[in-house]
């Protein structure tokens, strides 16, 4: 069947009326990839929900299409967000498709190159602040409170509504909910959205159960795990470099209600997982996404995830967003040789 985007597909579960414009860049319908090599090594049944294959390369498209459709329905002409990069790329793309103005606040120097390029080429007006994401979000909330501008961060409830469709897809693709859903946590909107989606599918008896939710923050930005606001969050995974998550309660609630937990992984664990999934499974996701696989590895090792479990690891963003990190952590530069067969053979055979 023809794919028409998440609003059309899941409109029965979304705040969609006759007046809601059917906005789409054909987001959603992302593959659930069976990780055949890692499954065998870990003794579990592991799948990646590969959200990096959305139109702007991250899961943010699911929430943004809904937020922009509702903004358009309400007559809004301007949207605004704070972002570590992916939200701004998605906002800029959907605003472009709807002829809206898009204003973006990012932390100067802490946004991956590809994400900045996207926001700019889609025509957003980008302001870089001398501060972090949490400070940017505070400013955006203050401005959108006073001005006729629609806030499209995940504190906008339509964002959560759109993002919950990823949980629906996981159930549709697996035939039921998995035993464990493992996900990176930054501003905590996505774990909140997945949990809402899993509960709704179960309430409608489309799935027979809900998964145990395991969320992972980066250690240097683990506000929920440490139960304190982190004024200066630090991690190589800039996507989740957030010290005061807006959906803090949503994450805590998802963990509590599902008998799961919010835990953390170090930058070393994130980078190891980042390289592992690329080399072992042929999947290139950005470092923030790799926090999810790092969480799977940690949980299998410490027994949180028992052998034989069916596990879905959410890979939130495409690796191409952040080429600098890929090059810097591998520290590999192709050697240049003369354009001759002999020279190449000497190099590869010796």
Note the residues at the interface with ligand F0G (CB under 6 A).
Answer: 58, 60, 83-87, 154, 184-190, 239-240, 286, 288-289, 316-317
Angle between helices 287-301 and 267-281 (to 10 degrees): 90
What contacts 122, CB < 8 A, 6 or more positions away? 89, 92, 93, 95, 96, 102
Q: Which residues contact residue 104 at a Cβ distance below 8 angstroms, ignoring those fewer than 6 apart?
A: 80, 81, 82, 83, 88, 91, 92, 119, 124, 125, 126, 127
**Residue among 108 and 343 whose Cβ is closer to ligand F0G:** 108
Check whether 37 is labelled as a binding-site residue: no
| CB 311, min distance to ligand F0G, A | 18
For the CB of residue 285, give the shortest distance to ligand F0G in the complex, in Å.
8
Question: Min. distance of Cβ 333 from ligand F0G in angstroms?
Answer: 27
Do the beta carbons of residue 30 and residue 316 sit within 8 Å? Answer: no
132 is in an annotated binding site: no
Residue 139 or 206 with smaller CB distance to ligand F0G:
139
How many whole angstroms separate alpha carbon 86 and alpha carbon 343? Answer: 43
Max CA pair span of the chain = 69
Nearer to ligand F0G, 184 or 260 (CB): 184
By beta-carbon proximity to ligand F0G, the closer residue of 86 and 144 is: 86
Q: Does the annotation list 187 as a binding residue?
A: yes
Task: Specify the DSSP element, H or E, that contains 136.
Answer: helix 133-146
- The CA distance from 181 to 187, in Å, is 18
CB 212 within 8 A of CB 225: no
In angstroms, what is the minimal distance from the CB of 271 to ligand F0G? 15
Nearer to ligand F0G, 156 or 316 (CB): 316
Of residues 45 and 275, the one with the C-beta less far from ligand F0G = 275
**Of the candidates 109, 116, 152, which has an alpha carbon nearest to the alpha carbon of residue 246?**
152
**From the CB of 282, what's the least distance to ligand F0G, in Å?**
19
Q: What are phi and psi of 134, to 5 degrees?
A: -60, -40
Known binding residue 253? Answer is: no
The three-class DSSP label of residue 290 is helix
- Nearest distance from C-beta of residue 159 to ligand F0G, angstroms: 9
The answer to whether residues 106 and 83 touch, using CB atoms and an 8 Å cutoff, is yes
| 114 annotated ligand binder | no
Tell me the closest approach of the beta carbon of residue 42 to ligand F0G, in angstroms.
22
The residue among 24 and 190 lying less far from ligand F0G, judged by its C-beta, is 190
Annotated binding site for pyridoxal 5'-phosphate: 86, 186-190, 316
Annotated binding site: 86, 186-190, 316
């Amino acid at each position: 069947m023809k794919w028409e985007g998440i609003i059309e597909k899941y409109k029965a579960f979304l705040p969609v009326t006759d007046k809601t414009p059917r906005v789409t860049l054909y987001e959603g319908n992302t593959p659930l990839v069976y990780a055949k090599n890692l499954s065998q090594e870990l003794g579990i049944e592991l799948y990646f929900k590969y959200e990096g294959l959305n139109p702007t390369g991250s899961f943010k498209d699911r929430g943004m299409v809904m937020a922009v459709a509702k903004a358009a329905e309400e007559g809004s002409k301007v949207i605004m967000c704070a972002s570590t990069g992916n939200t701004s790329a998605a906002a800029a793309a959907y605003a472009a498709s709807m002829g809206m103005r898009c204003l973006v606040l990012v932390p100067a120097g802490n946004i991956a190159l590809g994400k900045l390029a996207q926001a700019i080429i889609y025509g957003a007006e980008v302001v870089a602040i001398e501060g972090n994401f949490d400070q940017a979000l505070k400013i955006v909330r203050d401005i959108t409170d006073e001005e006729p501008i629609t806030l499209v961060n995940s504190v906008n409830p339509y964002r959560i509504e759109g993002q919950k469709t990823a949980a629906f897809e996981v159930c549709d693709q697996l035939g039921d909910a998995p035993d464990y859903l493992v996900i990176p946590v930054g501003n905590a909107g996505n774990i909140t959205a997945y949990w809402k989606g899993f509960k709704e599918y179960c309430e409608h008896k489309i799935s027979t159960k809900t998964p145990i939710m395991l969320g992972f923050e980066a250690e240097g930005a683990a506000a929920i795990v440490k139960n304190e606001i982190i004024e200066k969050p630090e991690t190589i995974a800039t996507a989740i470099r957030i010290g005061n998550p807006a959906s803090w309660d949503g994450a805590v609630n998802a963990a509590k209600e599902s008998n799961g937990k919010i835990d953390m992984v170090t930058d070393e664990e994130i980078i190891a997982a980042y390289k592992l999934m690329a080399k072992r499974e042929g999947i290139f996701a950005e470092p923030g996404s790799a926090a999810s696989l790092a969480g799977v590895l940690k949980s299998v090792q410490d027994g949180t995830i028992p052998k034989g479990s069916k596990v879905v690891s959410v890979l939130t963003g495409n690796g191409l967003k952040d080429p600098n990190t890929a090059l810097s952590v591998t520290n590999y530069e192709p050697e240049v040789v003369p354009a001759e067969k002999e020279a190449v053979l000497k190099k590869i055979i010796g």
